[in-house]
Structure 1
Amino acid sequence: MKYNLPLAYLLATFAYLALCLLWIIKRSVEGFKQNLVHNADPFQSYCNKVFAGWDFCITDPSAARLKHRSLQYELQSDLQEEKLKQKIAERRMEEKLRIYSLRIFINIIVIAILSGCFYSIYRVTVFSQENSNDIGNANSQVNLLVQYLPSMVITLANFIAPLIFAFLIKFEEYTPAFEIKLTLMRCVFVRLANIGVLLFSLWSQISNCGSDKCKPCGYNYKLYPCWESDVGREMYKLMMFDFIVILAVALFADFPRKLLVTHCSCKLVQWFGHKEFGISDNVLEIIYGQTICFIGTFFSPLLPAIATIKYFIIFYVKKIVLKHTSKPAAKPIRASSSNFFFLVVLLIGLLLAFVPLGFSIARIPSSKACGPFRHFNTSWEVIPDTILQFPTGLQQFLFGISSEAFAVPFFVILCIIMFYVVALAQAHKRAVEQLREQLVLESRDKMFLIRKITEAQK
């Protein structure tokens, strides 16, 4: 047995993606359980917070104040949502028509903004790839600007589009929790789709053979002798520009705004006021950067180390910004359901990262000039090539597992197990409902007995 570097590289990629998937699913399931308990019965949720929400193991005064504020914030969020639901239920037909028409119009604007972002990124990426190598070394500054132009446009789109979405969502009159979720989904879509458009533009240029000479290789080896390194370089640029934008906003926007509001009595400045701490925006920045890390680690192995240093610095920058320059959001949100939703969005980012990685590993020919897979047609070919070196019995077993004769019964068994789990969950749900009804009946029996005892004593 020899150390197989291409196989180890590919298996390491599968291993970290599988570990990330399992960890995110584990955390999401925990949040899903809390979300189910919260949404089961609103009255039960209030009782849990009032009578069982306090932690009597807290001895530190600062921790006690923090827990007190957390419970107060949760109750405030629940009451405000109930108030908005009652207001929505009392709407007349004219108000519903006006709101639905306004929402349709706003969604058309959102689609137009997304289309403009995608088209701009595609055109800029094609322009950058076609002209970055034609400028020459004599004008290195212009060449550097052209090379970084796609990352700059993507960063600009990621910065401007969420501001427009946050402004438009105010006119759609949703509940605070759904407002944050919808804004987050729109922003997540534009950010992740921007990465997808960038990768599609790169791969369209990489696979574009202007002459018949590069068709046997399957990619444009003249402009992209090591196309994996070019993709990794683009992911590195996106991560660094995201880091620079976060620091620039904190240093040149948040702190000057705080100073102006504190020391300037101008009515316009006071009208802007302190910046609200947007939970969705800050979570979205983390999900966006982590998705870049998921995609770029295969092409740039040191990208997770850079991401670790980046988020270590960003954590303390955000902490300082939150403490000294921001104010709480005017519309409170429920923390439990939002945490579950944020993990689901991160899971979506990971699943979307599987698509370009799987396509590049299985379909795009590997570069012949560099990399551990230069002796293979595609990166995936290292797997069957390694299996062919195994003993005959092990080969037959592995090929049998990957065949249709095994896949179809395995899929049928999985469906049966899934139906059984769903039926079991429904049975447990009915049992819980019956137990809840039994508790209500027992409480009525106790009240009846108390009335009888009171009447007997009189």
Structure 2
Amino acid sequence: GHFTHSLLYYGYYSNVTLNDPCASSPNGSACPHAGPPLPYNMPLVYIFSVGVSFLITCVLLVYSVYHSFGKSCRVGSSRGDLAVRVFCAWDFKVIQRRTVKLQRENICTQLKELLAEQRSRSCSLSLCQRLGHFTVLLLAWALSLSSVLGCVLAVLYLSEHMHVQQEAILLVLPLVVSLLNALMPCLYNLLAMWEKQDSPAAQVYVAICRNLILKTVVVGLLCYQWLSRRVVCSTEECWETCVGQELYRFVVMDFIFTLLDTLFGELVWRLVLEKRLKRKQRPEFDIAQNVLELIYGQTLTWLGILFAPLLPAVQMLKLLLLFYIKKTSLMQNCQSPSKPWQASHMSTVFLTLLFFPSFLGAATFLSYTIWSVQPSETCGPFRGLETIYKSGNNWVQVLKKSNPNITWIAWVHQHVVENTFLFFFVSGVLLAVICFNIQVVRGQRRIIRLLKEWIANEGEDKIFLIERLHSIYKNRER
């Protein structure tokens, strides 16, 4: 297209080094010392920007997951205690009408969650009923996995055969993948109705698991095809630019299908229910499916940041538009889900899924590309190199020639960046810290359990003493 040779794609960027004293020197082996101490190395800036963005994202995600786990899995929390929720959940400092209404709905949802979980635990099934339920679950999972296999075969066939056709056929693969992401959850909802899960939480987790398997397998297959497609592009064309173009197509097609789902799945369906069927019920807003779509779009952005540097800006614009569109549709067309949601636990689940497999999968894909895949020889900032990682070694050699006073950077690169022992040492320290925190939490839970038993024993002692006092008082009255 017209934007192929623009800032949007990898192939536009060059491998030049600005303010390079060695480039202006008449003798390439000797560099003048009066030049700038740190030349502006375009390949290094390119890979450094990607690395820093992933590092900052990793830190923020780890902190968010840790903070969310702290909220949803508090030590000694009284989750499941109906008495505490009934008598102690209300905040008497709330006086505004809107806030009172929201708090009332929140407490009502929490009570529904607890009652649904207790009802699922209390009901007992016979052996024949358990075998029948297990058979239904087995068949449902077999159908869902078979559908995933069929989707994978369809995506594999299209990805291998569409490049021999005309250029307009390139939109077929993003169209089919987005169509599968929109239609397969409907099949999984039908399977969930057939399964009739007793626990609402189990029903939500099963739906999330099935959708996650589909999206993970399809995206993994696409990553494999993208890395092997570099032999398909011509020598004048960057295979990295081909991957960037396809990722733009996937992001735009995902946005289009989200708009279509909002239009036909929410607006048109509400009009049909109200005008034709004369029902007051509105379509439910599927929180799990919408959040999984957000995770899918963010995964595409992380995968494409190396091949399309401005793809995060496109994703931010897409999310901004989707926020206001979904907000308007939610308020006008949808009703709250009938399934009770444990908001804190679901938030933790979604953040965990965003971190793994979404972020870690994208980081693994890009790490393999940087360390093991040979870049294009005719375009891009890493042309002529065996791997993208070699650009760091070349930069260190340039620093040695241009300014001997900063040779410590080469030492740091050799003993810190390239030293595998440091990586394993840091990993071991992190694992030790995690194990220590786990043991501390277990010890706190053990102490809390003992304190609860002690409080229960104290209550029994007080009941015994009160009964003795009553008996003594009655004996005195006689």
Report the TM-score range of the alignment, normalised by the length of the smaller protein.
0.7 to 0.9
Displacement after TM superposition at 1:20 (Å): 1.9
In 1, the alpha carbon distance for the partners of 2:274 and 2:422 equals 69
**Cα gap change, 1:158/1:355 in structure 2, threshold over 3 Å: closer, same or farther?**
same
In 1, the alpha carbon distance for the partners of 2:434 and 2:75 equals 25
Larger radius of gyration: 2
> Helix, strand or coil for the counterpart of 2:254?
helix
Which of 397, 414, 423 lines up with 2:439 in the alignment?
Answer: 423
**Cα gap change, 1:53/1:18 in structure 2, threshold over 3 Å: closer, same or farther?**
farther
> Helix, strand or coil for the counterpart of 1:37?
coil
Q: 1:265-344 alignment to 2 at 5 Å? A: 265=277, 274-344=282-352
Give yes or no for the alignment of 1:443 onto 2:459. Answer: yes
State the one-letter code of the partner of 1:64: V
Give yes or no for the alignment of 1:83 onto 2:92. Answer: no
TM-score where L is the length of structure 1: 0.86
Which of 240, 256, 273 lines up with 1:228 in the alignment?
Answer: 240
State the one-letter code of the partner of 1:23: L
Which of 379, 403, 411 lines up with 2:419 in the alignment?
Answer: 403
Displacement after TM superposition at 1:260 (Å): 1.9
Contiguous gaps of at least 5 residues in structure 2: 1-37, 401-405
Displacement after TM superposition at 1:387 (Å): 3.4
Give yes or no for the alignment of 1:55 onto 2:91. Answer: yes
> Helix, strand or coil for the counterpart of 2:339?
coil
Displacement after TM superposition at 1:297 (Å): 1.8
**Cα gap change, 1:422/1:260 in structure 2, threshold over 3 Å: closer, same or farther?**
closer
- Indicate if the aligned counterparts of 2:78 and 2:84 stay in contact, CA closer than 8 A: no
TM-score where L is the length of structure 2: 0.82
Give yes or no for the alignment of 1:151 onto 2:164. Answer: no
Q: Which residue of 2 aligns with 1:25?
A: 62
Which of 270, 287, 290 lines up with 1:258 in the alignment?
Answer: 270
In 2, the alpha carbon distance for the partners of 1:417 and 1:427 equals 15
**Cα gap change, 1:2/1:396 in structure 2, threshold over 3 Å: closer, same or farther?**
closer
Displacement after TM superposition at 1:37 (Å): 3.2
- Indicate if the aligned counterparts of 1:124 and 1:150 stay in contact, CA closer than 8 A: yes
Give yes or no for the alignment of 1:35 onto 2:60. Answer: no
In 2, the alpha carbon distance for the partners of 1:308 and 1:453 equals 71
Q: Which residue of 1 aligns with 2:185?
A: 162
Determine which structure has greater relative contact order: mean sequence separation of CA pairs < 8 Å that are 6+ residues apart, divided by chain length.
2
Displacement after TM superposition at 1:385 (Å): 2.4
**Cα gap change, 1:8/1:450 in structure 2, threshold over 3 Å: closer, same or farther?**
farther
In 2, the alpha carbon distance for the partners of 1:187 and 1:39 equals 33
State the one-letter code of the partner of 2:132: R
Q: State the aligned residue count.
A: 428
Q: Which residue of 2 aligns with 1:96?
A: 130
Displacement after TM superposition at 1:264 (Å): 1.7
Give yes or no for the alignment of 1:433 onto 2:449. Answer: yes
**Cα gap change, 1:55/1:250 in structure 2, threshold over 3 Å: closer, same or farther?**
same
Deviations 1:435-454 (A, max 9, x none): 22222223333444444555
In 1, the alpha carbon distance for the partners of 2:288 and 2:225 equals 29
**Cα gap change, 1:243/1:396 in structure 2, threshold over 3 Å: closer, same or farther?**
same
Q: Which residue of 1 aligns with 2:218?
A: 194
Displacement after TM superposition at 1:196 (Å): 2.0
State the one-letter code of the partner of 1:395: A
**Cα gap change, 1:246/1:394 in structure 2, threshold over 3 Å: closer, same or farther?**
closer
**Cα gap change, 1:11/1:55 in structure 2, threshold over 3 Å: closer, same or farther?**
farther
- Indicate if the aligned counterparts of 2:75 and 2:444 stay in contact, CA closer than 8 A: no
State the one-letter code of the partner of 2:67: E
Deviations 1:324-383 (A, max 9, x none): 222222222221211111111111211111122112212111122322222432221122
- Indicate if the aligned counterparts of 2:375 and 2:385 stay in contact, CA closer than 8 A: yes
**Structure with the larger helix share:** 1
Displacement after TM superposition at 1:399 (Å): 2.4
Q: Which residue of 1 aligns with 2:208?
A: 184
In 2, the alpha carbon distance for the partners of 1:180 and 1:102 equals 17
Q: Which residue of 2 aligns with 1:378?
A: 387
**Cα gap change, 1:356/1:408 in structure 2, threshold over 3 Å: closer, same or farther?**
closer
Give yes or no for the alignment of 1:206 onto 2:230. Answer: yes
> Helix, strand or coil for the counterpart of 1:199?
helix
**Cα gap change, 1:52/1:405 in structure 2, threshold over 3 Å: closer, same or farther?**
same
Q: Which residue of 2 aligns with 1:354?
A: 363
State the one-letter code of the partner of 2:150: G
In 2, the alpha carbon distance for the partners of 1:358 and 1:446 equals 65
> Helix, strand or coil for the counterpart of 2:389?
helix
In 2, the alpha carbon distance for the partners of 1:341 and 1:410 equals 27
**Cα gap change, 1:333/1:130 in structure 2, threshold over 3 Å: closer, same or farther?**
same
